[in-house]
Amino acid sequence: MRIGMVGLGRMGANMARRLMDAGHEVVAYDANKSSVDALAAAGAQAAYTLEELVAKLPTPRAVWLMVPAAVVESVLDQLAHLLAQDDIVVDGGNSDYRLAIARARRFAASGVHFLDVGTSGGVWGLERGYCLMIGGDRAAAQRLEPIFATLAPTPIPAASGAGETKGYLYCGAPGAGHFVKMVHNAIEYAVMAAYAEGFNLLKQAGRGREDRPADAETTPLAELEAYQYDFDVAAIADLWRNGSVIRSWLLDLTAAALQEDAQLEGFSGHVSDSGEGRWALKAAIDLGVPMPSLSSALFARFSSRDEDAYANRLLSALRKQFGGHQEKKK
């Protein structure tokens, strides 16, 4: 099958390579010419404009976007003038699901099918495959099943024990794919936060050792003898990968990161968010669904960027106002 791939960043290029390795033909476009050249050297058909990409695709066409959410709309605006009835355009990035609903309606007016496909797999997807969550017109999705099957991992036994589970799923009407991916990423936020907090406690469990200054403000001196441990956090992460109930791919990645740098000196601790956590929290508020773990994890990311610095200074000022407490200098 021939498909157009727009956006050749870390995921888009690897997805194109996975498709080509399986015998599909890829017409590749990116705003960065060198990215197009690199994929063309690997066997893709190069396109240096969207017009060229569309012209090189047989009708009905299929165009897959893997571009940042901030530029999806501008790319779709251009494609709206180039695509024709029965063509398919896929947004495989992390866009707001509500935008997918509007975009599907807009393209439907000209007979073009818009699919929103939540894509999980990151930089490992080329080797391991991508988990795909599909929303939009079911018939259009079925037409792209050879593409989905190639991008997805090898099927695994179903949880029920009967049959198998594929690495792609038609989730429902327009917006459904990105809604499911939004919730997927919200869970990811919370699981990452749980691992981070747990390993931080392990790392701090040596506060009472003689070679470390006592912190009487947080730990009574009489209790410090209970915190004499010098844990090898990298070894513990690796241990938990083997048979523990909290093993997961995220734990595998945690172990790999700690093996590389147990002190994490190469990181500042500034944790970004790409939007899905915020959108999920808004949906939870709109629907009255409790999501305390996500909200805590999301706000922790805000704190990591010093967004709470002013609040913390005010707390310190208030302690001085009502109790005369002098702020301890670092």
Q: Are residues 203 and 64 part of one domain? A: no
Residues 189 and 148 in one domain: no
Given 112, 145, 172, the domain boundary residue is 172
Catalytic residue, candidates 52, 181, 225, 282: 181
For 134-151, b where at least 16 C-beta lie within 10 A, e where not — what string?
Answer: bbbbeebbebbeebbebb
167 and 274 in contact (C-beta within 8 Å)? no
Number of Cβ within 10 Å of residue 152's Cβ equals: 19
d(CA 113, CA 87): 6
Does 230 share its domain with 252?
yes
Lookup result for tokens 């818009």: 114
Contact (Cβ atoms closer than 8 angstroms) between residue 44 and residue 53: no
| CATH number, domain containing residue 15 | 3.40.50.720
Question: Could you give the C-alpha distances from 320 to 193, 218, 323, in angstroms and in order?
Answer: 32, 18, 5
- 198 lies in the same domain as 144: no
Parent domain of 249: 182-323
CATH number at residue 243: 1.10.1040.10
Pick the catalytic residue: 188, 223, 282, 327? 188
Contact indicator for 66, 11 with CB cutoff of 8 Å: yes
Task: Verify that 233 and 156 share a domain, yes or no.
Answer: no
| Separation between Cα atoms, residue 218 and residue 54, nearest integer Å | 63
Which pair of tokens denotes residue 26? Answer: 């890829």
pLDDT tens for the 330 residues of the chain, in order? 999 999 999 999 999 999 999 999 999 999 999 999 999 999 999 999 999 999 999 999 999 999 999 999 999 999 999 999 999 999 999 999 999 999 999 999 999 999 999 999 988 999 999 999 999 999 999 999 999 999 999 999 999 888 999 999 999 999 999 999 999 999 999 999 999 999 999 999 988 776 655 555 666 666 777 888 999 999 999 999 999 999 999 999 999 999 999 999 999 999 999 899 999 999 999 999 999 999 999 999 999 999 999 999 999 999 999 988 888 876
Are 160 and 261 contained in the same domain? Answer: no
CB 130 within 8 A of CB 152: yes
- Name the token pair of 181: 């991916």
| Domain end point (choices 172, 204, 226) | 172
203 is catalytic: no
Q: Please indicate whether residue 181 is annotated as part of the active site.
A: yes
Q: Are residues 94 and 119 in the same domain?
A: yes
Q: Which of 172, 207, 231 is the last residue of a domain?
A: 172
Cα–Cα distance, 229 to 206 (Å, whole number)? 5
Which tokens go with 1? Answer: 């099958």
166 and 236 housed in the same domain: no
Number of domains in the chain: 2
